[in-house]
A and B are shown apart, each in its own frame.
Chain A
Amino acid sequence: MFKYILKRLGISVLILLGVSFLLYALLRCMPTDFVDSKILQFQQSTPEGVTEEFKQLMYKTYGLDGNIIEGYNDWLSNFCLLDFGKSFVNQRDVLSEIFSADKLGTSFMIAAIATIFEFLIAIPLGITAATHQYSVRDYVVTILVLIGISLPSFFFGQMLKNIFAIELGWFPPAGMSDESRTYVGFAKFMDYARHMFLPVLTVVILFIGGRMRMTRTNMLEVMNSDYIRTARAKGLSEGKVIYKHAFRNTLIPVVTGLAGLIPSLFSGAMITEEVFDLSGIGQYALDSMMQGDIPVIMTYNMFLAFLSVMGVLLADLMYAVVDPRVKLA
């Protein structure tokens, strides 16, 4: 077990190295980076233009003077010393920029609330669909699932916004909170909840289909297994068979799947945030990308890559913990 974990950790480090190099190389391939546009600004503001030495100095200050390999080496050695650098755009520490309540916090809140609702709705629906296979209920659930995964996020988000926020006026169309008023206590919470409702609804409907289908497939597999037949042969009531014997085994992939969800909690929904004009991490990452803010993009994406690599490892370990039949080798 210990050896297995060590081996997997070693592989994870290799994967992360690969990801970071690819990302860095791609970022450096961008035609106009941050320093270029900065120099252009200086050139426009000073009548005599900028000298060649000044340009070199600028590149050196931002650590972009060498070629890609040298730059990557520098970045990697700093990264290993936990020096993540400063944002090019506002010179603030990258970590405090990314891990702030209004950026990562917002996205995390939306994703976490949405995930909880997805599971609360998807698991019961998936189970009834499986236990009543080929019934009307099953078909309705299947069709809903397929419609959910077929919706384009931007179109569906805009539809919801148009109907519920603009036409009916039930919810605010954009933003995080009502800036014209100051609320305290419960009223503040309600205001926040009203702003969060439509984004969360969009995310829930877009992702619920996949979860429902997963539960249904797992449940069907369990219901066809021998021990369920035995349980029925013993004369147990159908309720006991389903909720005591089948349901627990259905939960195995759900529990292990939770570990795989970790990165998605932090990745932010770029499109949904754009539609509802929220200042989440998805929007921030998009902006940093447009401005060529290399330290921010690298740190944030390495954080996500680290989470997803760890998520996969954790899922495999959980699998062995939850299901005694599985042995790791």
Chain B
Amino acid sequence: MSAALDGGPVLQVRGLTVRAERRTLLDRIDLDFPARSLTAVIGASGCGKTTFVRTLNRMVELTPGLTVSGSIRYHGQDIYDRGVDPVLVRRRIGMVFQRPTVFPMSVFENAAFGLRVAHEPEAEIDRSVTDALARAGLWDEVKDELDRPALALSGGQQQRLCIARALAVHPSVLLLDEPTSALDPIATQRVETTMRHLKEELVLILVTHNVGQAARVSDRVAFLSAGRLIEQGPTAEMLERPRDPLTQQFVSGRFA
């Protein structure tokens, strides 16, 4: 039986430790991500929050020299088990990066990329791309220019296109690594609206250094400092009544 069907967490992180040659980047992290939720991972620059989300779909393996230990269970299956294909993991657990990373091809082909590399049939691609562009809140803006080069879109549109590209393969989890850090306030607002819609259907994990953003969109907050999970809980509780002095400092410093 899958853990999620029992109401258990979709992703369950236990004792997650990441080491570089000399330093420990993440130190024994335990964290659960329930279905249909948006968890914001906050912390200062260099605290390990980007490394953390990169372990959740094995992207961390693209950086040579890091060793991962502990376990990350997706519906109960440890994604680091031998015999688990990292490519298939990434098709279930999608990712959006700090800066828009569109490929030099048309808007449509960008959104279809994940489906093409998974060899989905043509009819399915058409349907999923349209659906993904709509869910990313981009369809109305690009429906008449699907054949235009994606690089001609604005930065905010490019970022929503990247979200659509990740959504098109129907992932159950979407990792967002500071997706609005390169965007202006209006584009940021649009992406935040998109995130609020998406958390109704899938697990969103948002890395941000912006406490305000965490307050606006997240259900739960996890605070990292120097590679350790200091505190986690429902957003309101975490931002208004943090128990740990480190959390208090970080949260109030940003609100002051």
Indicate, yes or no, whether A interacts with B.
Answer: no
B positions within 8 Å CB-CB of A:
none
